[in-house]
Structure 1
Amino acid sequence: MKKPAWLLLALLAALPLLPVPEFWITQLNYIGLYSIVVLGLVLLTGVGGLTSFGQAAFVGIGAYATAYLSTKLGWSPWINLWVGLALTLVAALVLGWLTLRMSGHYLPLATIAWCLSINYTMANTEALGKYDGLLGVPALNFFGIDLNQGRSIYYLIWALALLGAWALVNLLDSRAGRAIRALKSGSVMAEAMGISTYRYKVIIFVIAALYAAVSGWLFAHFQRTVNPSPFGIKMGIEYLFMAVVGGVGHVWGAFTGSAVVKVVEDQLQVWLPKLIGTSGNYEIIVFGIALVLALKYAPDGLWPGLRGLFARLLPTPVPRADWQGALALPARDKPAAGELLLEAKAVRKTFGGLVAVNDVSFSVHAGEIIGLIGPNGAGKSTTFNLVSGVLGLSGGEVHFRGQRVDGLPSRQIARRGLSRTFQHVKLIPEMTVLENVAIGGYLRSGKGTLSAMLRRNRAEERQLFAEAHKQLERIGLADRMFEPAGNLALGPQRMVEIARALATDPALLLLDEPAAGLRLKEKQALAAVLRQLKGQGLSILLVEHDMDFVMGLTDRIVVMEFGTRLMDGTPAEVQASPAVRAAYLGTEH
């Protein structure tokens, strides 16, 4: 960390010792409390793409748990923290199970519904004091120090807020973090790399809920009283507003948004009645207008702009290759030459009355490069999706390495050694090329979310990046590994997808139009790489429209037309076939 960053932290730590107004300390305490909740939303909404209006309900669970146990049962607040986290965990798992399979606008609507339900329960439970809430919540005591003043609890609030940010930064820079960052781009690519997208949705939902519960626990002992009003839908919307204003995809945007919204809200409550001449919650109207303007003119929030101003104060990571000497990732057993790898038996796919793939059969043996060709609409990509588990079969069977795999999700087929690229490139544009390729090593590594947050995964990270670097060297893109993947042209992006698939250490590689968008020399380089892979025992099944590329590379070709298999033969046999010429040109002559 740079020296100015330490000075900034020192100033933050020294502020309560300085003769500043008590109001400043109170404001900073609330900003710290809000930031903890918003950090969870950065992970859930900004990174994971799951919009939630219900985080205030989880704040309420943490607050009411400690308030009730402290005032009614006399339990220690430090024990209550763990009880509150346990209750929040159970609630988050139940709510996540009920709602996280929803998509589109249904998920945000569901979060509104359960936020209203939990808040209503709090406000109508006799033991929780109904709308009056619980009074007389005791102050925290930390190793004999009473945290009964704003200046004393300030340190605990900000220590936990910064610890939460540190844990989140660690998580996002990890195997699990890359899996989470893949969620926003949809589930198809992530599942094909062996990632359980639903599992990670539950994980980030739970983490965001636990962050909110910690904030609620602190809030109860800071306020010394708890009632339902701070835990309703209004505050749930405000938390999300803070995340958007600060920069919903940025960890430090949580602090920026919380500070801006809290300060502006307080000032509006003072100035709006003077300007309008009457009292009321008019700041809500102003915030609504501000949100629309922010989404239009600063959709990425305030933090990206402020980051440039504070670049000299904040640590800036310098990309470097620090994985030299890292151990190799585990490798799978390679199939014997000529071994039957993939066998598709009369695979069929219907969409209503449309038969997209009609009883197509073919096989792939170890060490072969097989081409799957046909005119547009022949069903080639659909067949790829059936084989890799992206789509379910309507009929037939798929066997991989002697085991039947149809009916399995694509992540389980990937575990058996089948990896693929996509017709439409599926990279995460804001991640570097190196990080995108490292996603391919997910199944060959094992450190989980907690290890990542505590930074206990550094050795494995070095292994993953060493593997990613190796595959980028293989395809000739190692010199661009630190560039955002979204900066690359289409051709290099396709090469990065191939490198990512190779990082899975596949027994069979499926390439969906790998030469599309590549220039002549790039195609030649790709063909050389694929021949090299074949020489190393890797089997390849590819869909391609470039006939020169296919004919000069493949051992056998399967030709499809209108969802059916037209023929299966060597490139020479396919080129000589009148039926193939008729399929492509509409005539046998």
Structure 2
Amino acid sequence: MNHTTPSQEVMKEEKVQMHKHKLRKFNPFVAAFIIALIILPQLSMVPEFWINQMNSIGISAIVVFGLVILTGSAGMTSFGQAAFVGIGAYSTAYLTVTLGYSPLLGLLVGLFITGVVAWFLGQVTLRLSGHFLSLSTIALCLVFYYLFGNMSFLGRHDGLPGVPAIEFLGISLQPARNNFYLIWFCVLLTLWLSQNLLNSRTGRAVRALNRGEGMARSFGVKTFHYKLLAFVYAALLAGLAGWLYAHEQRAVSPSTFGINYGIEYLFMALIGGFTSLWGAIFGAALILILRDQIQNIAPKLIGSNVNVEMVFFGVMMILILQYARNGLIPLIVQWIRGLNDKQKAKNALTDDVLDEPSATRLAYGVERLRLSAPATSLAPRKNRFHAAEGEAILQVQHIRKEFGGLVAVNDICFQIKSGEIMGLIGPNGAGKSTTFNLLTGVLPLTSGKVLFHGQDISNWPAHRIARMGIARTFQHVQLLPDISVVENVALGAHSRANTGAVQAALRLDNESEHQLLEEAMKQLKRVGLEDCALLPAGGLSLGQQRIVEIARALCLAPSFLLLDEPAAGLRYKEKEALAAVLHALRSEGMSILLVEHDMDFVMRLTNHLVVMDFGTQIAEGTPAEVQTNPAVLEAYLGGVADE
């Protein structure tokens, strides 16, 4: 939507290369952290107490990594992670203590049982939403707590003592200093896997769940599949933590897997920031250290052993929810850098060494455009239809939508031809956006049919309709505000790739990611926003965000595009540029259905108009015909045409 000179293009490319270099440069924080982990257990001056404390922090951090994915990214609050820790712990304890098998088998069996239980529970609980889902996870934790405490072969409430130490190459890892290396190796491994997962096609789909499943489905995301994936992944991390816990403590009992621990894990995630993997380590460390210190100091101060730490943590939670909902990490970074302006602090986080998802993934998209990545383009969508000019591609036949006794859309009929821009207009509340939702599968039809290239797609799920080549924008902008523009746009191409979670976690998806992000950059350049590719989407103006939504829709490679008020918030020149883009799309054979309140914009752009009022179709024709239609004038001007 804008024009650049060759020199400007060179400057843009140099800027991209600078970002690549910055992201690949040596990270002193991570290096220092790893060196400290290697040296710390070897220092005799470090008491055994603090080595044990570090081991507990590492085990808890692994559980909280799962909550970053499940709650922070997918938006599903779970109080039941302690139950999955218990499954992993009891599985290895029973196999090693009662049956005499090796801890390695205990790990494999524990992860398998944890994954299967999570999969079956997810099939039921994840169909709930909001507080119902949270309540179901509380029930889950209570159920497993009482199961652990009442099964005789698991030792009832006494648990199973005598869990053997893990051995590696004949060396026992029982001393806390030896076990330290295993635990923190698992911490760094799961951190790496989780970071890779978040910064991938899979991660974008999971994060989209947090902004509304309707938006995610509209770009081919199978939302339940990704909800289940996040749930099982978080459970597996908890199961791994349970295995480490059992062999670290050499015993298991139900008391450490109750609902109070499930709440504690959530509190750790809250303190570090629900979207921060490094914050998970910080949150685990702060809670465990504070708890032990308060339990040690409080009795000396007040002369009682009451649970003072519970009162302290309760007050602390209220203060964090009130003043630091994003966690303490952003506040600490702001304090260190001496930045008072919140927006500057947010931008500064992009370069921060913590590499948390809410920070460095703003520039992550360009980092994945590696110089080593193959220069292949994203393959065309296989089922894209090619219609002859003037051929009807969409036929809407007497569609109707009822919400209880309210009829929102009644007997709407029209068809759209290949290469046509049609406007769907009407006063506020006419049913235009509801019609959009019916055509794209967000809402089911009460009656009627929708045919796309002659195929009945009535009541198809939204993700299946998207894969047919139908893309849309939304009346209210639905972007992921904390990630980069290029990643938001890449979500539109989700259905054009097939890399899975395992490939993403192991970072075997480089070629696919390169293609997806190249396609996103291509569409951003098409609409003139390539300069904004690295910026957080939430920092753009409303008009720019609407253009980003159009670029995201184009990433689907649609043959039919639905735009819901695309010109809202745009200035005159921006509207002119948008009109030029839409004309170019029409010249390529794309069909467009447009809902817009700017009548001058609509009349100059469209070939055909359908007018709605109170859910019914009151007129259809060319812009000139509609402008003189008495029913339309009455709907807009309140009966002026009768005077």
TM-score (norm 2): 0.89
Structure 2 counterpart of 1:331, which letter? P
- Which residues in structure 2 correspond to 1:1-150 (within 5 Å)? 1-19=26-44, 20-150=46-176
Q: What's the offset of the Cα at 1:391?
A: 1.0
Give the equivalent residue in structure 1 for 2:401. Answer: 349
Q: What's the offset of the Cα at 1:582?
A: 2.2
Q: Contact 1:56 / 1:231 at 8 angstroms: preserved in 2?
A: yes
Structure 1 counterpart of 2:254, which letter? P
Q: Contact 1:4 / 1:312 at 8 angstroms: preserved in 2?
A: no
SS at match of 1:119: helix
- Which residues in structure 2 correspond to 1:240-251 (within 5 Å)? 240-251=266-277
- Which residues in structure 2 correspond to 1:431-450 (within 5 Å)? 431-450=483-502
Give the equivalent residue in structure 1 for 2:377. Answer: 328
Q: Contact 1:66 / 1:77 at 8 angstroms: preserved in 2?
A: yes
Structure 1 counterpart of 2:425, which letter? I
Deviation per CA, 1:41-87: give whole Å up to 9, x if none: 11111111111111111001000000001011111110111100111
Deviation per CA, 1:560-580: give whole Å up to 9, x if none: 122221222111211232332
1:378 corresponds to 2:430: yes
Deviation per CA, 1:486-508: give whole Å up to 9, x if none: 11111111100000000000010
Q: Contact 1:33 / 1:215 at 8 angstroms: preserved in 2?
A: yes
Cα separation, 2, equivalents of 1:433 and 1:572:
39
Give the equivalent residue in structure 1 for 2:596. Answer: 544
Give the equivalent residue in structure 1 for 2:573. Answer: 521
Give the equivalent residue in structure 1 for 2:445. Answer: 393
Q: Contact 2:472 / 2:563 at 8 angstroms: preserved in 1?
A: yes
Structure 2 counterpart of 1:354, which letter? L
SS at match of 2:277: coil
Cα separation, 2, equivalents of 1:6 and 1:72:
42
- Which residues in structure 2 correspond to 1:106-255 (within 5 Å)? 106-255=132-281
Decide which of 584, 588, 601 is 1:532's aligned counterpart.
584
1:505 corresponds to 2:552: no
Cα separation, 1, equivalents of 2:165 and 2:143:
29
Structure 2 counterpart of 1:329, which letter? L
Cα separation, 2, equivalents of 1:120 and 1:28:
29
- Please identify runs of 4+ aligned residues in structure 1 that moved more than 6 A: none
Cα separation, 2, equivalents of 1:264 and 1:582:
69
Deviation per CA, 1:302-329: give whole Å up to 9, x if none: 2223446497765667664736763221
Structure 2 unaligned segments of length 5 or more: list them: 1-25, 338-350
Mean CA deviation greater in 574-583 or 147-156? 574-583
Give the equivalent residue in structure 2 for 1:570. Answer: 622
Percent identity over the alignment? 54
Cα separation, 2, equivalents of 1:323 and 1:54:
39
Deviation per CA, 1:157-205: give whole Å up to 9, x if none: 0000111011111111100000111111111100111111111111111
1:587 corresponds to 2:640: yes
Give the equivalent residue in structure 2 for 1:466. Answer: 518
Mean CA deviation greater in 303-312 or 5-14? 303-312
Q: What's the offset of the Cα at 1:584?
A: 1.6
Give the equivalent residue in structure 1 for 2:347. Answer: none
Cα separation, 2, equivalents of 1:312 and 1:49:
25
Cα separation, 2, equivalents of 1:277 and 1:549:
76
Q: Contact 2:278 / 2:354 at 8 angstroms: preserved in 1?
A: no
SS at match of 1:252: helix
Q: What's the offset of the Cα at 1:4?
A: 4.7
Cα separation, 2, equivalents of 1:568 and 1:313:
58
Structure 1 counterpart of 2:601, which letter? F
Q: Contact 1:8 / 1:313 at 8 angstroms: preserved in 2?
A: no
Deviation per CA, 1:1-23: give whole Å up to 9, x if none: 42453233112111111111111
CA spacing shift, 1:433–1:153, aligned 2, 3 Å: same
Cα separation, 2, equivalents of 1:199 and 1:8:
36
Cα separation, 2, equivalents of 1:133 and 1:395:
59
CA spacing shift, 1:351–1:302, aligned 2, 3 Å: same
SS at match of 1:184: helix
Deviation per CA, 1:448-493: give whole Å up to 9, x if none: 1111110011111111111111111111111111111111111111
Q: What's the offset of the Cα at 1:352?
A: 2.2
CA spacing shift, 1:125–1:170, aligned 2, 3 Å: same
Q: Contact 2:159 / 2:252 at 8 angstroms: preserved in 1?
A: yes
Cα separation, 2, equivalents of 1:378 and 1:587:
19
Deviation per CA, 1:81-118: give whole Å up to 9, x if none: 11001110111012111211111211111111110110
Cα separation, 2, equivalents of 1:162 and 1:303:
19
Structure 2 counterpart of 1:71, which letter? V
Structure 2 counterpart of 1:546, which letter? D
Q: Contact 1:134 / 1:226 at 8 angstroms: preserved in 2?
A: yes
- Which residues in structure 2 correspond to 1:219-298 (within 5 Å)? 219-298=245-324
Cα separation, 1, equivalents of 2:50 and 2:496:
50
Structure 2 counterpart of 1:328, which letter? S
Give the equivalent residue in structure 1 for 2:9. Answer: none
Decide which of 477, 481, 489 is 2:541's aligned counterpart.
489
SS at match of 1:371: strand
Q: What's the offset of the Cα at 1:134?
A: 0.7
Q: What's the offset of the Cα at 1:440?
A: 0.3
Cα separation, 2, equivalents of 1:386 and 1:432:
30
Aligned pairs, number = 589
Decide which of 298, 302, 305 is 2:328's aligned counterpart.
302
Give the equivalent residue in structure 1 for 2:612. Answer: 560
Structure 1 unaligned segments of length 5 or more: list them: none
CA spacing shift, 1:3–1:431, aligned 2, 3 Å: closer
SS at match of 1:293: helix
1:360 corresponds to 2:385: no
Superposed CA RMSD = 1.6
TM-score (norm 1): 0.97
Cα separation, 2, equivalents of 1:47 and 1:243:
12
Deviation per CA, 1:223-269: give whole Å up to 9, x if none: 11111111111111111111111111111111000000011000000
Structure 2 counterpart of 1:443, which letter? S
